Amino acid sequence: MPIQETKLIWRNGEMIPWAEATTHVLTHALHYGSSVFEGMRAYETKHKGVCVFRNRDHIERLKFSARVYQIAIDHSVEELMQACRDIIRKNELTSAYIRPVAYLGYGEMGPSSQNVASEVAIAAFPWGAYLGDEGMKNGVNVAVSSWRRMAPGTVPAGVKAGGNYLSSRLVSMEAKQKGYAEGIGLSHDGTVSEGAGENLFVIVKDRIYTPPAASSILAGITRDTVKVLCKKLGLEVVEQALPRELLYGADEIFMTGTAAEVTPVRSVDDLTINNLDFPITRQIQNAFFGIFNGETEDEWGWLDPVG
């Protein structure tokens, strides 16, 4: 996906021109993967203007990720939330993808270096449907990857760190090179984990299943949004370890993520899901996009107007 340049990037508390947001080749993060980041979206809502979606939840997750790897972020949650609003407003964006990143910078070599200063930056740019408009409507074809996700006790899957995306790259590249829209990773024990950049929901006989946190997933904010919306819709979501074969007999499957939003899956490993009308997925999609067009009341304070 090519990046559409905008004017300004927030870095360490200041707005700087896009082209000046560069870093040294000996940046710690470049060598050791010592970065943490977020993917967020701003939507042009019908009723509240341009809003960042679940701003606080994303920034809190960024802080959590940084804490695990001891990457200092000197800015408060409130300051970073304001920076996200500012980056949208100052770049005159309406709907956009927001990418905050914190990483260990230049100064020392060695993975455990304690004296490397951290850098924090936030960029924003336009980004449409990650898995395509056609996929959003008619579902995407996905494949189970030959690569397993990282096992518990290796690197934490529940932390959104740059290094984790080496796993995502392998899972996603393999699928795309074989003509699929996305790859699904299995956990170390062969149960279903998640997509390369999406959580997974599987519907069998009106029951909605999703793998638990212990199945090497990033517990997505969209996943949480869907869980809350399902409760409101009277749909039960069961979190449990899922055997791979559940994917092959599913009535419906959908994937969730900030980039992917709520995208239906049409087939897994060339086996088509049972119900291509996606009745439950559509209900959830409508409730999700309803947050932005005003049809779903935002009871949770998820919409944060950029002002």
Residues annotated catalytic, as ranges: 160
Give the E-state strand segments of the chain in sequence order: 8-11, 14-17, 35-37, 40-44, 50-53, 96-104, 118-125, 140-148, 182-186, 192-195, 199-204, 207-210, 237-239, 252-257, 261-268, 271-272, 303-305
Q: Give the count of residues interacting with ligand PMP (CB under 6 A).
A: 14
Kindly report the CA angle at 24 between 18 and 28, in degrees rounded to 5?
A: 115
Count other C-beta atoms under 10 Å from residue 46's C-beta: 10
CB neighbours of residue 105 within 10 Å: 21
Applying CB under 6 A, which part among 103-111, 114-122, 129-137, 213-221 lies near ligand PMP? 213-221
Which among 117-125, 130-138, 193-201, 245-253 is the span making contact with ligand PMP, rule CB under 6 A? 193-201
Minimum distance, C-beta of residue 227 to ligand PMP, in the bound complex (Å): 11
86: left (phi over 0), alpha (psi -120 to 50) or beta: alpha
Q: Would you say 252 and 203 are in contact if contact means Cβ atoms under 8 Å apart?
A: yes
**Does residue 258 touch ligand PMP according to CB under 6 A?**
yes
Task: Considering only residues 266 through 305, tell me which ones interact with ligand PMP, judged by CB under 6 A.
Answer: none
Shortest spacing between CB 44 and ligand PMP, in angstroms = 19
Query: Is 211 an interacting residue with respect to ligand PMP (CB under 6 A)?
Result: no
* Whole-angstrom distance, CA of residue 131 vs CA of residue 37: 21
What span, in angstroms and rounded, lies between the C-alpha atoms of 160 and 173?
Answer: 19
Interface with ligand PMP, residue 65, by CB under 6 A: no
Of 14-22, 108-116, 204-212, 256-264, the segment contacting ligand PMP by CB under 6 A is 256-264
Asked if 220 touches ligand PMP (CB under 6 A), the answer is yes
**Least distance between ligand PMP and beta carbon 39 (Å):** 5
Determine which residue in the list 223, 247, 280, 281 makes contact with ligand PMP, applying CB under 6 A. 223
Cβ atoms 39, 259 nearer than 8 A: yes
With respect to ligand PMP, which residue has the nearer C-beta, 139 or 197?
197
- Which spans of this chain sit near ligand PMP (rule: CB under 6 A)? 39, 168, 194, 197-199, 218, 220-223, 256-258
